[in-house]
A and B are shown apart, each in its own frame.
Chain A
Amino acid sequence: MSRIIAAIGVLLVFSLPAYGGGRSEGQSRLRVMIVERSEVPRDQGRVNDNPWTEYVQREMAKLDIDVRFVPVGGSLVRHTVMMATNTAPDLAFTHGRLLFMKFAADGGLHDLGRHIPEYGPNIPAVLGESHLRLGQIDGVQYAIPSRREIDARYGSFIRKDWLDALGMDVPTNRAELTAALRAFRDLNPGNVPAAELRPWGWFTDDPGTVFDSDFKLFDAMYSFLDHDPAANMGSLWPVRDGFRDFMRWLHDLYQEGLIEREFATDSFEIKTRHVVNGTVGFIHVPWNYLYAQNSSSVALNLARNVAGAEFVPVDVFEGPDGVYRKLRYLPTRLYAFSPRRSRVPEAAVAYMNWMLADDTAWTLAFGRTGDQHTIVDGLPVFGDLQRYADTFGYISESLRILGDFPFGPKITNAVREQFRVNDFSGNDDRALAMARENSFQEPVFQSRMSTMARSGPGLIRIAESYWVKLITEPNFDAQFDEFIRRLNDRGMQEIIDERRVYLERFGVE
């Protein structure tokens, strides 16, 4: 016992200096937040202290930059505590629009717009006025929204080898898709065990998070609704014309045995397992789900398990007007802001301005010319990818808080091509192009919608418990009427009314 105590004592005395020191506060002029997006190689230092943070400090010496590291996980709690206790850096950001709107509405953020003319001319020039509106609440520029180069969201994929075996063409609309699913069910072109056969396998994006608020079948749903941005904004989908037909369509497919029986309970892992094992004919998933650039790629592992198995992207959800519309992400990933208690909001703007200057943007995206890459015909050429990754790739995304710089498709594609590890014979490019074609985004409200905040959680619970029942249980019409009635009881109309008022005031974005 005493030996243990002595050992502990020695340990404590010798290591206290290493871990005992606290953070010193408020010496530097501009504190900048950084999160860790990938492992920092051993010889490069730490995420907040490496050759690239030194580069930032040197370049922006007059701002005297202090890079503050913030863990990524649990950002809702982390950010709230930081903001509430005045420990947030002068330039901070959050990924959630909800949290950003809350911070802005509670008066916790600086109006950055005031400083843009003097300190941030690059910001509107590079990002564009309409993009900047994403960071405005009631007309005030509380945040600079980052830029997302690839805003594609979902894609539909069908087993080409199964279609070929049946002598069928690739389906081009819902009716042909249904016919293909029926053929898969009846003729089992892949010769999989009958109990394992899943004509339509993937159903929701991530059913593991059952209390999630997202409804993940947007593209299929919007193929039943008139394309009407005003209705998207001023209404809610359960009361739109066509929504009932959409749910009934899913209901019928399920009752016919065309949709995965266990879609409501199966986890992401289990659904992937089915796809990889080649028992699934059709999936509707994030566009890049099949095409990871590493050995975890679903498409590669499927091809390894089942010779000749190949998914091809298809466009099957035509709208009432014949256009194949797809929902896309908001063109932003995060909202960069300066907390109200910061004394240097103009320095935060100046820092972001520097980040968007041509030279800086290039360097933060591709590394130093002559070091991480050379320039041939105006395009960056990366010789040694591993070296690029070890000396710069680890930090690039963390530093570029304003996201992807609009270098143009020529450069973007050239870079993409060089970092391609796996060959998907063009299917990945086709999937991306398809997901981007005729895409539109959900409405963005630039005021706080208070009825949504109040009644939303209750409505989500009803939607969650009904949308599975509507599909799986036999009495569709009775269930659907009950569904709408309960939504109305819980205040759906108030939300619609508030949205209408907003629509009348601000119009469609």
Chain B
Amino acid sequence: MTLAQARRRKVIRDRHLYLLLLPVFAYYIVFHFVPMYGAVMAFTDYNIFAGIRGSDWVGFNNFRIMFRNDEFFIVLRNTVMLNVISLLVAFPAPLILALLLNEVRNKKFRRAVQGIVYLPHFLSWVVVSGLIITVLSPSSGLVNNIIRLFGGESIYFMTDSVWWVAIYQLSGVWKEVGWGTIIFLAALSAVDPNLYDAAMIDGASRWDRLKHVTIPGITPMILVVFLLSVGNVMSISFDRPFLLGNPMVLDVADVISTYVYRVGLLNVDYSYAAAVGLFQSVVNFVFLLTANWLSNRIKGEGLF
């Protein structure tokens, strides 16, 4: 039997599975691949009334403008910098919290904590940033009041670049750590209890069980979340840097999304925004594929 024949046989065997996939294919084709032609906008001087076909083709002109702009490299650097730090800080935080929750014996306590840590996720950054700025105010904020009470001097958290980055990261953890645990808790619940029993019989300590049963059990999920975070290295949503930022920390707080916003504010330039978006996507996609390839090589598993 040749390879092709074997494949054909498998396809025939799995024909019902392909049938199940039909609505999925339909969705991706209709709502993703059909509209994909719009990406061409980045190579045109887009006129919304003329549409893609009626607009002038400008080739890589929008990209040339982008790369010739030193401002673009500043926001690029800031975006990557904030995201890499997030990968180190904000990515492990929910995992650790989920593992700690998993070690709690009292079910009621665990549920109560779970129910509470999700709460900040449901408040918008407008509300949360207002609270943060108030609490950290050098003259009247709670934190600095405490610092002064102990004889320290007020810290200008929001105007000092280093402190600002720390606040940016911590506020992100604060707001999203609980929400981030959900995935890991779902994965934890699927770890086979028999494995724990077996480990107990072997006399494994709690730490050993965590290392040899729990972590390996949820590694696929950790890997998935990590790889997808890597595939987001070029993207930061607009709200957080915009609302926490201020003119004093522009050198670290200005990211691609706030840059595009500013460009759009003065100059409704769809093509340029599309070019920046396309650039982001290409870099993100390359990062994801590379990380996935590495993961497949090293761990033997990845996204696909």
Contacts and interface: CB of A to CB of B under 8 A. Distances in A.
B267 A457 contact: yes
B85 interface: no
A195 B140 CA distance: 8
A108 B47 CA distance: 9
A464 B247 contact: yes
B250 interface: yes
Interface string A197-211: 000000000011111
Interface residues on A, range: 35 or more
Interface residues of B, number: 37
Interface in B46-65: 47-51
Interface string A74-117: 00100010011000000000000011001000111000000000
Contact of A467 (B51, B242, B247, B267): B247
Contacts of B139: 195-196, 261-262
B247 A453 contact: no
B261 interface: yes
Given A210-B246, A211-B245, A108 B48 contact: yes
Nearest to A453: B267
B251 interface: yes
A449 to B, nearest CB: 10
Interface in A253-280: 261-262, 264-267, 269-270
Given A102-B268, A456-B267, A267 B49 contact: no
Interface stretch (B129-137, B191-199, B203-211, B216-224): B129-137
Interface in B247-292: 247-248, 250-251, 254, 258-259, 261-270
B94 interface: no
Contacts of A208: 243
Contacts of A80: 48, 268, 270
Contacts of B137: 262, 265-266, 270
B71 interface: yes
Contacts of A102: 268
Nearest to B136: A265
B31 to A, nearest CB: 16
B138 interface: yes
B10 to A, nearest CB: 33
A458 B49 contact: no
Contacts of B265: 98, 211, 213, 457, 460
A231 interface: no
Name, among B47, B264, B265, the residue most crowded by chain A CB atoms within 10 Å (CB to CB).
B265
Contact of A265 (B48, B158, B259): B158
A98 B268 contact: yes
Nearest to B157: A265
Contacts of A261: 138-139
A454 B269 CA distance: 9
Contact of A207 (B51, B246, B266): B246
A464 B263 contact: no
A465 interface: yes
B106 interface: no
B69 interface: yes
A461 B254 contact: yes
Contacts of A264: 159, 246-248
A469 B130 CA distance: 23
A125 interface: no
Contact of B266 (A266, A341, A452, A467): A452
A465 B251 contact: yes
A84 B247 contact: no
B133 A270 contact: yes
Interface centre among A108, A269, A452, A458 (most CB of B within 10 A): A458
A208 B246 CA distance: 8
A265 B262 contact: no
Most B-side CB within 10 Å, residue of A213, A262, A453: A262
Given A106-B49, A461-B254, A265 B246 contact: yes
Interface in B114-131: 130
B216 to A, nearest CB: 31
Closest CB pairs A-B (n = 6)? A453-B267, A84-B48, A456-B266, A108-B49, A468-B247, A465-B250
11 contacts: A80-B268, A106-B47, A211-B242, A213-B266, A262-B137, A262-B139, A453-B266, A457-B265, A465-B247, A465-B251, A468-B247
Interface of A: 76, 80, 83-84, 98-99, 102, 106-108, 195-196, 207-211, 213, 261-262, 264-267, 269-270, 340-341, 452-454, 456-458, 460-461, 464-465, 467-469, 472
Given A453-B269, A457-B259, 4 more contacts: A211-B245, A262-B138, A270-B134, A468-B246
Interface of B: 47-51, 69, 71, 130, 133-134, 137-140, 158-159, 242-243, 245-248, 250-251, 254, 258-259, 261-270
